[in-house]
A and B are shown apart, each in its own frame.
Chain A
Amino acid sequence: TKEERRALRKKKWSTDTVSITGISTNMPSDLTPEQQKIYIKQLEIEEITKRLKSNDLGIPADPTQRSPSPEPVYSSDGKRLNTREIRTKRKLEDTRHQLITQMKELNPHYMPPSDYRAPNVRVQE
């Protein structure tokens, strides 16, 4: 039923609040749609940057709220290469890279965060 389905869904609203220095989450109301896009992207890039720096990966404490794990992959010396931490961090870096790429298109003068490096082409898993 609808009630059962809703009960099993992931909780979408977070309980904590994000605050990014210098960018208010109350958006000024006089921005054009283009400026709004840039404003939101800037906020998202800064938020991911902050999380990468503080290693705040947002992995749910409740395992039922997590996605299924893939088969483990190990290096030649037996170290696991695709732990949830590694996968989550990689996903954040990829997302940030995409956002920065879009941002450069919207604003050619955009300067990415100082810790950002454009990714090298990765060896396939």
Chain B
Amino acid sequence: PGLHNVQSQATATEILCLMNMVTEEELLDDEEYEDITEDVKEECGKFGPVKSIEIPRPRAGQDASGVGKVYVEFVNLEGCNAAMNALSGRKFANRVVLTSFYDPDLYHRRVFN
């Protein structure tokens, strides 16, 4: 509710950023990482066709601002919008999921922040 929605909507893209999703610990575990990717793909696919997913993992000496976030590229804006409306405020592993649209240019250059 309120101004925040208006702001996000103004910059709608086909890239959904899900925040507060994963911990560093989970990302370091290969099996866990694979499961999380599946969970996200499966759930997001309910709202529209998914083109790609990026889940930044912590790496020594690299900017960690994308860690904890999950980026989902939808085929179209409708899917992305529907997923945002449905997933915003849901919980993933007991953490409240926050959402925002993400800049496709940054996404394709694999810049995550």
Q: Which residues of A contact B (CB under 8 A)?
A: 6, 9, 12-19, 22, 24-30, 33, 36, 39-40, 43-44, 47, 58
Contact of B11 among A12, A15, A29 (CB under 8 A): A29
- Which residues 1-54 of B sit at the A interface, judged by CB distance below 8 A? 1-2, 4-5, 7-8, 11, 19-20, 35-36, 38-39, 43
Does B72 sit at the interface, judged by CB under 8 A? no
Does B97 sit at the interface, judged by CB under 8 A? yes
Chain A residues near B5: list those with CB within 8 A: 24, 26
Chain A residues near B8: list those with CB within 8 A: 26-29
A18 and B11 form a contact (CB under 8 A):
no
CA distance A10 to B66 in the complex (A): 25
B19 and A27 form a contact (CB under 8 A):
yes
B38 and A6 form a contact (CB under 8 A):
yes
CA distance A50 to B96 in the complex (A): 13
Does B62 sit at the interface, judged by CB under 8 A? no
